[in-house]
């Protein structure tokens, strides 16, 4: 038994967290290759390395995936300080390289010298597609930087190959990501995945991108709604901010109109002008009404609270209707079990908790709106 435990301990030394082992980098200059400050790591690696996100067989494992910041030319190297050998009976190291090779397009480099030579040729790189929007961001280290948002399709020469290199990032930062079929031209009409890489997060790029998407597509007569499939929590917060920013300029969302309650006029104007559906328009109304409401005034605060809670109460009313139907067919002991789940006091507590959570979310959005006023 002692021998088995010793072997297990020895083998455990050769397990590596793949999220830490994978080193990503956007390289502008050759000196960036040795600068650890420009390295970032995945949030997820389970789609390649399993749910436990562990690679076995190595000590000091480092999987380098470095990209030129312009054309995304790729350098792929695997390093480690030691690797399991045949002295471990019936044990062999995971093939960590093949899993990466399965997702990165052909044409990558395994030589640092070759990668640097490619880097030197990218000084004149320009983004693909047509320019939609230009904006500036202040960076503490680099000062004021100018960014561009362009719209491009697969017909643009060279973009399909570029897109193949670009979408490898999805595997590391979107939990259920899948590659897009570049031959399906319907993707032009779907906002499927949106990603801001870690070195650029917290600078407002996501909001700029989403607003640019809305401003472009809301001008197209055939577009009825701009939405996202199965959005993440962070995306919902971003969307709330962008839509509130856009809607506050609409006449029906003026402060005096907000105090009168959510109206069909708001629904129609948000739909016709910005292609925002009723559900999203309602959230925007609640955000902007909170912004326009003096919550120190008890009467105004009460009116606002009741208005929001009426919306939040919708699922509870549905449960009550379902209970009424079940009362006709459930046995007494089954009915007691269901009643416990919709106890009135519990509902009120959950409703108040939901309201406070919504209030916190809305206040953060209002603070962000105020910072850009």
pLDDT digits (tens, 9 = 90+) for 128-141: 999 999 999 987 77
Nearest to 76 by CA among 20, 32, 114: 114
The question of whether 229 is a catalytic residue gets the answer: yes
118 sits in which H/E element: helix 112-120
Q: Looking at residue 96, what is its pLDDT?
A: 94
pLDDT digits (tens, 9 = 90+) for 102-124: 999 999 999 999 999 999 888 88
Check 31, 141, 229, 264 and give the catalytic one.
229
Q: Is the model more confident about 89 or about 19? A: 19
Q: Which residues pair with 17 in a beta bridge?
A: 54
Q: Looking at residue 10, what is its pLDDT?
A: 76
Q: Using 50, 70 and 90 to split pLDDT, how confident is the model at 188?
A: low
Q: With 80 as the cut, is the pLDDT of residue 288 above it?
A: yes
Lowest mean pLDDT among 14-28, 77-91, 243-257, 310-324: 310-324
346 sits in which H/E element: helix 344-371
Q: With 90 as the cut, is the pLDDT of residue 269 above it?
A: yes
Q: Looking at residue 139, what is its pLDDT?
A: 78
Q: Looking at residue 178, what is its pLDDT?
A: 75
Q: Using 50, 70 and 90 to split pLDDT, how confident is the model at 366?
A: very high
* Contacts for 121-125: CB closer than 8 Å, 24+ residues apart: 122/68, 122/70, 122/71, 122/73, 125/70, 125/71
Q: Using 50, 70 and 90 to split pLDDT, how confident is the model at 42?
A: very high
Q: Using 50, 70 and 90 to split pLDDT, how confident is the model at 1?
A: very low
Share of the chain above pLDDT 90, in %: 64
Q: Is the model more confident about 324 or about 278? A: 278
Kindly state the tokens that stand for 203.
């600078």
Mean pLDDT score of the chain, rounded to an integer? Answer: 87
- Kindly state the average pLDDT of the residues 88-98: 82
Q: Looking at residue 179, what is its pLDDT?
A: 79
Q: Which residues pair with 138 in a beta bridge?
A: 144
Residues 294 and 255: beta-carbon distance below 8 Å: no
CA distance 291 to 308: 14
Q: Looking at residue 110, what is its pLDDT?
A: 95
């Amino acid at each position: 038994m002692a021998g088995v435990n010793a072997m297990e301990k020895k083998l455990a030394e050769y397990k590596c967290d793949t999220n830490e082992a994978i080193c990503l980098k956007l390289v502008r200059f050759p000196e960036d290759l040795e600068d650890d400050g420009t390295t970032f790591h995945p949030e997820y690696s389970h789609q390649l390395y399993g749910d436990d996100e562990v690679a076995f067989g190595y000590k000091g494992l480092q999987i380098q995936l470095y990209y030129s910041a312009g054309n995304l030319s790729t350098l792929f190297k695997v390093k480690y300080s030691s690797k399991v050998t045949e002295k471990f009976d019936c044990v062999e190291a995971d093939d960590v390289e093949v899993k990466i090779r399965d997702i990165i397009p052909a044409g990558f480099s395994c030589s640092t010298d070759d990668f640097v030579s490619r880097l030197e040729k990218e000084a004149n790189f320009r983004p693909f597609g047509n320019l939609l929007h230009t904006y500036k961001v202040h960076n503490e280290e680099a000062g004021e930087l100018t960014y561009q948002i362009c719209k491009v399709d697969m017909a643009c020469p060279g973009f399909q190959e570029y897109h193949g290199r670009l979408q490898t990032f999805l595997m590391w930062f979107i939990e259920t990501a899948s590659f897009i079929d570049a031959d399906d031209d319907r993707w032009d009409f779907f906002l499927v995945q949106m990603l801001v890489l870690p070195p650029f997060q917290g600078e407002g790029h996501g909001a700029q991108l989403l607003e640019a998407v809305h401003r472009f597509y809301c001008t197209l007569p055939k577009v009825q709604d701009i939405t996202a499939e199965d959005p993440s929590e962070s995306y919902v917060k971003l969307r709330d901010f962008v839509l509130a920013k856009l809607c506050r300029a609409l006449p029906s969302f003026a402060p005096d109109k907000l105090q009168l309650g959510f109206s069909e006029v708001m629904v129609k104007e948000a739909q016709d002008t910005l292609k925002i559906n009723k559900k999203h328009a309602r959230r925007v109304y609640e955000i902007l009404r909170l912004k326009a409401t003096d919550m120190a005034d008890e009467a105004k605060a009460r009116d606002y609270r009741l208005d929001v809670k009426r919306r939040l109460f919708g699922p509870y009313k549905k449960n009550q209707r379902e209970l009424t139907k079940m009362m006709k067919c459930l046995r007494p002991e089954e009915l007691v079990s269901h009643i416990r789940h919709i106890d009135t006091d519990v509902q009120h507590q959950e409703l108040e908790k939901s309201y406070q959570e919504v209030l916190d979310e809305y206040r953060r959005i209002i603070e962000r709106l105020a910072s850009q006023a």
